[in-house]
Amino acid sequence: MFVFLTKRLGQSIIILFGVTLITFSLSFLMPADPVRMIAGRSATRTTVESIRKELGLDRPVPVQYIKYLGRLVRGDMGRSYKQKTRVGELILSRLPATLLLMIGTIFFELLIGLPAGILAATKRGKAADTWIMTLSFGGVSIPQFVLGLLLLYVFANILPIFPLGGYGSLKHLVLPALTLGISGGGWYSRMMRSSMVDVLREDYIRTARAKGLSERTVVLVHGLRNAILPVIAMIGLDIGIFMAGAVVVESVYGWPGIGQLAWQAIQVVDIPIIMGVTLVAAIGIVLGNLLADLVMPFIDPRIYLH
């Protein structure tokens, strides 16, 4: 267990180091000069040069990178070029909205994906199975922005049940979370189905049936316990991916999460924010993977960590 943990942590740190290298190189490929964007068009050459000096952008690139890494280790992700605020604070201020959206999304993903997947597995090869699987494909094939705009049109415009975007109450959460939940739910139902189909073939399920247990108990108690494992691993990965925010849905609904922050930053070439969000997202994905690995043995005692 301990050896496994150290090994995985070591790998994670190496990957994160690579991530900083790539985000840092990307920021230098940006065509627009950030100093000019801060200074504005009418700035004189001396102003531009003094801002460049102030931001440390006149130093050689490797020096800038080392300095960046040094600050990063101390938890300092630099300041936004535009807003002059610390990137860490900006991301933290957006974190609650993104976490809330994440919880809502996972709720809908499971609410849609689990029953659909279980039903399809038990009705394998029948009409219900075909329909559920086709709808799941429909869910993953519809772009999030189209689904988002259509839900807004129907449930906020024609039937004014929910607000037209924004943030603040549980009512604001429903449509964005549902949008992401429908597209994610498609993947969950497919995974749930294939996992349940495999489990229902096992010998212990035959034993349970032979004992005379009802089909309901066999599937929902005996089958589900094992069939749900890959789904739980998938939630771990989902949490990680969510750390980048949901750029599309947050932009459609005006949801003030990390995705919106990243999106706004890219449009004004605010490099520290872009690097910060990418880094936080990569940390989230790496930790999400780690979390999924670590939780598994507690749910499934057959798995040992090496």
Partner 1 sequence: MSYGLKRFLRNKLAIFGLVMILLFSVAAVFAPVIAPHPPNKQFFDGLTLEGAPLPPNGKFWLGTDLLGRSLFARLLYGARISLIIGIAANGAALLIGAFLGIIAGYVRGFIGTAIMRFTDLMMAFPALLLAIALAAIFSPSLWIVAMVIALVNWVQIARVIYSQTITLAEREYIEAVRSVGASWPRILFVHIIPHLWPTLLVWGTLGIATTVLLEATLSFLGVGVRPPTPSWGGIIYESQSYFLDAPWLVFFPGIAIMLLSLSFNLVGDALRDVLDPTQRGRD
Query: Does residue 90 belong to the site contacting partner 1 (CB under 8 A)?
Result: no
Query: Does residue 10 belong to the site contacting partner 1 (CB under 8 A)?
Result: no
**Shortest distance (Å) from residue 134 CB to partner 1:** 6
Helices 2-29 and 61-73 cross at an angle (nearest 10°) of 140
Query: Does residue 175 belong to the site contacting partner 1 (CB under 8 A)?
Result: no
Return d(Cα 32, Cα 230) in angstroms, integer. 44
Query: Does residue 233 belong to the site contacting partner 1 (CB under 8 A)?
Result: no
Q: In this chain, which of 10, 138, 166, 254 binds partner 1, going by CB under 8 A?
A: 138
Nearest CA to 282 among 24, 23, 10, 4?
23
Query: Does residue 251 belong to the site contacting partner 1 (CB under 8 A)?
Result: yes
Query: Does residue 262 belong to the site contacting partner 1 (CB under 8 A)?
Result: yes
Q: SS3 of 183, please?
A: helix
Q: What character string, x for contact with partner 1 (CB under 8 A) and - otherwise, covers 185-204?
A: ---------x--x-------
Q: In this chain, which of 91, 219, 281, 292 binds partner 1, going by CB under 8 A?
A: 281
Q: Other CB atoms closer than 10 Å to residue 214's CB: what's the count?
A: 11
- Exposure b/e, 121-130, CB count within 10 A at least 16 = b: bbeeeeeebe
Token pair for 269: 């070439």
Length of the chain: 306
Query: Does residue 217 belong to the site contacting partner 1 (CB under 8 A)?
Result: no
**Shortest distance (Å) from residue 273 CB to partner 1:** 11
H or E stretch including 140?
helix 127-141
Query: Does residue 128 belong to the site contacting partner 1 (CB under 8 A)?
Result: no
Query: Does residue 22 belong to the site contacting partner 1 (CB under 8 A)?
Result: yes
H or E stretch including 278?
helix 271-299
Query: Does residue 15 belong to the site contacting partner 1 (CB under 8 A)?
Result: yes
Q: In this chain, which of 6, 85, 134, 207 binds partner 1, going by CB under 8 A?
A: 134
Return d(Cα 190, Cα 114) in angstroms, integer. 9
Query: Does residue 296 belong to the site contacting partner 1 (CB under 8 A)?
Result: no
Return d(Cα 86, Cα 79) in angstroms, integer. 4
Nearest CA to 90 among 247, 256, 251, 252?
256
State which residue, 43 or 140, has the beta carbon closest to partner 1: 140
Please give the DSSP secondary-structure letter assigned to residue 83: T
- Exposure b/e, 84-95, CB count within 10 A at least 16 = b: eebbbebbeebb
Q: In this chain, which of 5, 6, 10, 18 binds partner 1, going by CB under 8 A?
A: 18
Q: In this chain, which of 144, 189, 226, 260 binds partner 1, going by CB under 8 A?
A: 144
Binding site for partner 1 (CB under 8 A): 11, 14-16, 18-19, 22, 26, 29-31, 124-125, 130, 134, 137-138, 140-146, 149-150, 152-153, 157, 164, 194, 197, 241, 243-244, 247-248, 251-252, 262-263, 266-267, 269, 274, 277-278, 281-282, 285-286
